[in-house]
Amino acid sequence: MRSRTQKLLTAEVAEKSRRDRTEEDLKAEDRKQNVLACFSLRCSRYSWQWSGSFVLFLVVACSVGVWGQSSSGSQPGGPPAGNSQPTSSGNSQKPDTSFPTPAPARPDLSPPRSDRVNASDLGTELGESSSKDTQGDVDAPENDARAHPKSAEAVADEAAATGSTNSVGEFHPWNPHKAGKDVEVGDYYFKRKNYKAAEDRYREALFYKENDAEATFHLALCLQKMERPREALEQYETYLKILPSGPHARAAHEAIEELTASAKARAAK
């Protein structure tokens, strides 16, 4: 009986201690949950405060940057921010090459056209016409008499031969380019001993360009080859009147002496 009572007491003590331990564990668990809840609440409060402060800092920084750019760009002629260079009183300031210099505009070299003329730019003054009142200077050059001392005599002799007394001769087409081509073709026929065709080309060249020295000398050579000494002698003398010191002057003098000697020899016979 006594042992049973002791067992019951022991069981009650054990149950009580278990019950007390369970209550302490529950209280400790509650305290832990409360601590965790308080910590999370404080963390969330601080995170909202920090996020709000960071957003406010970003807004202030952006505002300051925009204000700085607007203030630097509003200064007329001022250098851009960040490119300022310290200058000393003894050294000249170097030009700013950060911006390319625009290339100068090219001048308009196209020839003037009548459809581009503005009538209002012509003014109200009367212009000059190309009548006889405003004729250009058609006199010979200054050194013409020295370079061609006997060209006037050749022209006078030609006028006397044709019987023209008027100062203005008969109109002839003036085409130096065609005359030069005729001389080239005449030389081609002359080298192939087709003297008749060469003579025609040389005379045509003199038709388009009177008193041409080259055509006259080549015509004289052609006439001499065709055994027409009198005509050849006249052409040689005409060449010497045009160019007394020309490139063929020596050959012309020798040909004249040869033709004169031949004429004297024929006359002596």
pTM given for the model: 0.40
Q: What is the mean pLDDT of residues 62-81?
A: 64
More confidently predicted of 234 and 156: 234
Quote the pLDDT of residue 24: 76
In a domain, 171, yes or no: yes
Quote the pLDDT of residue 269: 73
DSSP 94: P
Q: Above pLDDT 70, what percent of the chain? A: 61
In a domain, 1, yes or no: yes
In a domain, 102, yes or no: no
In a domain, 62, yes or no: no
Quote the pLDDT of residue 232: 94
In a domain, 24, yes or no: yes
More confidently predicted of 79 and 194: 194
Last residue of a domain, one of 9, 31, 47: 47
Q: Is the predicted pLDDT of residue 136 greater than 60, yes or no?
A: no
Compute the C-alpha angle 136/140/144, nearest 5°: 155
| d(C-alpha 126, C-alpha 130), whole Å | 13
Token pair for residue 229?
A: 């000494």
Instruction: Give the CATH number for residue 205.
Output: 1.25.40.10
Number of domains in the chain: 2
Quote the pLDDT of residue 34: 79
User: Comparing C-alpha atoms, which of 255, 184, 179 is closest to residue 224?
Assistant: 255
Range of the domain at 213: 147-268
Last residue of a domain, one of 31, 47, 63: 47
